[in-house]
Amino acid sequence: MRRKLVVGNWKMHGSRPANAELLAELLGARPYGADVAVCVPFVYLGDTAAQLARSDVGWGAQDVSAHASGAYTGEVSAAMLQECGCRYAIVGHSERRAYHAESDELVAAKAQAALGRGITPVVCVGETLAQRDAGETEAVVKRQLSAVIHTLAHCAAEMVVAYEPVWAIGTGRTASPEQAQAVHAVLRAQLQAATGHAGRMRILYGGSVKADNAAALFAMPDIDGGLIGGASLKAADFIAICRAA
Ligand code: PGA
């Protein structure tokens, strides 16, 4: 069976004192019956690693460069993330696709760079409201995932996928468990056709997951946990979501 996974995506939030307090509360509320990790801004990876070391709470980054090293000002390589003990790197978050014009091919290259250093890419896919209204949801998420499957080839089964409908992110408008499950089933079928191992792959849901809707989402057969934005910044809320998993 698949063990549930809950990943906090802090985005560009936090400060050293606030992070230390949040992580201490997260550690204090263990054990969780699920895998738990936080993806923090690059500059906090060192502190986070020091505080979470020797615990079963993992940590990761919110992005990674597709390049191994070189003249890429501002970028952070997978080897650097590996040095910081990252277990995960989010790639292809809709905010990066939208504000940094990340293409499906670039997202795939980033996923490959992460895996090359033993870091699990959490590959985000999801449709906009206009795409959903136009009946394009399936086609959009399949296209986004297919680029990554193609690039990772025989390693594709090592990624984690996160379905994050853009219209549900930070809006308070969650996909219903049934809406999310329908897309997760499509993604799992696609992963199964490509890898033959979809039964052991984790597909997370993200988009306005809160303490009071997490359990219903996580109860769906193809929802293996969550990628949590806003609610991962409040210890009590994030702990409740981890417990719901
Ligand atoms: P949200 O963000 O939980 O604040 O909607 C989720 C995400 O963007 O990963």
- Ligand 1 atom nearest to 162, measured from its CA: 9
Helices marked H in 78-162 — which ranges?
A: 78-83, 94-99, 104-116, 129-133, 137-152
Whether 162 lines ligand 1, by a CB cut-off of 6 Å, is no
Catalytic hit among 95, 127, 164, 184: 164
Determine the Cα–Cα distance for residues 105 and 213; give it in Å rounded to an integer: 33
> What does the domain layout of the chain look like in residue ranges?
9-48+58-211+225-232
35 strand-pairing partners: 5
Q: What is the pLDDT of residue 201?
A: 98
Q: Which two tokens stand for residue 8?
A: 């906090």
- pTM of this structure: 0.98
* Distance in angstroms (rounded) separating the CA atoms of residues 89 and 39: 7
- Structure confidence at residue 117 (pLDDT): 98
Ligand 1 neighbour 48 (Cβ under 6 A): no
pLDDT tens digits, 122-180: 999 999 999 999 999 999 999 999 999 999 999 999 999 999 999 999 888 889 999 99
pLDDT tens-digit series, residues 180-239: 999 999 999 999 999 999 999 999 999 999 999 999 999 999 999 999 999 999 999 999
Measured from the CA of 210, which atom of ligand 1 is nearest?
Answer: 3
13 is catalytic: no
**Closest C-alpha to ligand 1, atom 2:** 229
Could you tell me the fold of the domain covering 9-48+58-211+225-232? TIM Barrel (3.20.20)
126 close to ligand 1 (CB < 6 Angstrom): no
Active-site residue, 67 included: no
Among 170, 180, 76, residue whose Cα is nearest residue 119: 76
Any ligand 1 atom below 6 A from CB of 170: yes
pLDDT of residue 105: 98
Catalytic residue among 93, 95, 102, 184: 93
Using pLDDT thresholds of 50, 70 and 90, give the confidence band for residue 1. Answer: confident
77 lines ligand 1 (CB under 6 A): no
Please work out whether the CB of residue 121 comes within 6 Å of at least one atom of ligand 1. no
Q: Is 217 exposed, middle or buried (0-12, 13-18, 19+ CB in 10 A)?
A: buried
- Closest approach atom of ligand 1 to CA 232: 3
- Both tokens of 172, joined, read 């308070």
What is the pLDDT at residue 173? 87
Contact of 55 with 31, CB cutoff 8 Å: no
